[in-house]
Amino acid sequence: MEEEFIELINQYQGILQKICNIYFYQHPFREDYYQEILIRLWKAYPKFKQESTVSTWLYRVTLNTAIDLVRKESVQPVYKELSTQEYAIHDSHPEENTATDKKEQLYQAINRLSEIEKAIIILYLESYEYKEIAAVIGISGGLDSCLALLVAVRAMKQLGRPARDVLAVTMPCFGTTKRTRSNAEILCDELQVSFKEIDIANTVRSHFADIGQDESVLDVTFENGQARVRTLELMDTANRTGGLVVGTGDLSELALGWATYNGDHMSMYGVNAGVPKTLVRHLVRYEADIAATDALRTVLLDILDTPVSPELLPAKDGEIAQKTEDLVGPYELPDFYLYQVLRFGFGPAKIFRLAKTAFAGRPEYPDSVLYKWLRNFYWRFFAQQFKRSCLPDGPKVGSVTLSPRGDWRMPSDACAALWLAELEQLQIKD
C-alpha cells in the first residue's frame, strides 16, 4: 500500500503544489505544512473506497487540510506588492516575463482572497466548473442538518457525482458549543463532502450596530439576527458556487413555527419538510447502524444524544444553554398531536383522550403534562401559519405535509380560539 500511495502522490503532486501555493505561498513554514498535508493524506488513504476519482479524493483532503491549518494556526497569507519598477521591467523586457513570473503574480493576487474564494479559484485551476458544486447546506452539528447532509450525499451518489459536490458550511457564533462544532466537522470529513467554516460573530455585531441592538440584551432580536445572517451567508455562497441552498427544517418545526422567519425558515429546497422530528431521530439512527466507519457511527450517535437546540443564546460553562424541548415540549408529544390533526382532523378533546391512551404507563406524562403541551401545540400551530404560507418546495415523505403547494390549505390569520375553548372545558387530573 505504501508504494501505491507514493506513486499516487508523484502522479498528482501538481494538485498539492497548487493548493500549497495558494494557501501558504512564501510562508516560512510552507514545507512543514506540505508535510502535514502528506501525513493527513496517508492517514486518510486506507478509507479511500474508490467512490470518486483519485484526483477528486486527493483534492478534497488536501484542500480541507490546508483550510484547517489556516484556521488552527492562524496562518495569514504573505504577499508582496509589485513595485512600479518591477512592472516596468516586465513591460520593457517581455522575454524575461516567464511562466514562473506570471504564476508568482497569480499566487500573490490569490493570497488576498478569502478562504472560500480561494477554494473556488482552485476549482477553476483544476478545471472544475461551478456546476460541480450542487448543494450548499448549513451544518450545525445537530439532527436536522445531519439528516439533510446525509440525504444530499445519497443524492450525489445516485447521480454518479462525488460527495464533494456538496458544500457544508458551519457558521459558529455566540451560542455554538465545542461539541456541536466538532461533530459538524467530523461528520463532514467522514462523509467526504466539501467543508467551510464562516465565523459570523463579527458580521452579526456589525448588523447589531446598524440597527442599534445591544449585544448584552438576549432577546428575540439577538437570536433572530444570527439566524438571518446565517441564511444570508448560505444564499450568497450558493450564488457564488452555482449551487442551491438545501433547507434543514423538519415537519415538527414547521408545525410549531420553530424557525426564524426569512432565516432558517427559508431555503431553495427543504428536504426535511415532510419529516417529523421523531422520524428524523430514527433515520439518523439507521444511518448510524449501517455506517461505513466506526468514526461515522460514533459521531452520528453523539449527534443523536445532543440536546435539540438552535444554539442562539451564549453557552453556559461550554454547555448548550437553550434546549428546544423545554419550550415546545418533548417532540414525541407535538408530533403525535400533529398527526391526529393533519391526518384525521380530530378535535382537541378527542386528541387528548387518544394521548392519554397512547402514553399510558409513562410516568413523565401525567394528564397535566399532556394537556399543557396540547394547549401549547394549538397556540403555536395557529399563530405560526404565516411562516408556512411562504415555504420553499420540499418532498412529501409521509402521509401528511404542511407545504402550501401540497395538500395543506390554511389562512395565515386563522385563530385558535375555538380549539382552545374546547380544551378549557376538559377536566384535568394532576
Question: What pLDDT, in 10s, does the model give residues 350-381?
Answer: 999 999 999 999 999 999 999 999 999 999 99
Q: Over the stretch 267-315, which tens digit does the pLDDT of each residue have?
A: 999 999 999 999 999 999 999 999 999 999 999 999 999 999 988 888 8
Task: Please give the model's pTM, rounded to 2 decimal places.
Answer: 0.70
C-alpha cell at position 237:
455562497
| Ranges of each domain in the chain | 2-128, 129-324, 329-430
Helix axes 220-241, 201-211, angle to 10 degrees: 120
Level-2 CATH architecture, domain 129-324 = 3-Layer(aba) Sandwich (3.40)
Residue 31 vs residues 35, 40, 59, 242, 399: alpha-carbon distances, Å? 6, 14, 18, 34, 58
Spell out the CATH class of 329-430.
mainly alpha
Torsion of CA 391, 396, 400, 406, to 10 degrees: 50
* Residue (of 290, 299, 259, 292) closest to 277 by Cα position: 259
Measure CA of the first residue to CA of the last residue in the chain; give whole Å. 67
- Identical topology for domains 129-324 and 329-430: no
* HSE (side-chain half, CA atoms, 13 Å) at 183: 23
Of 62-76, 96-110, 144-158, 316-330, minimum mean pLDDT range: 96-110
The tens digit of pLDDT for each residue in 246-267 reads 999 999 999 999 999 999 999 9
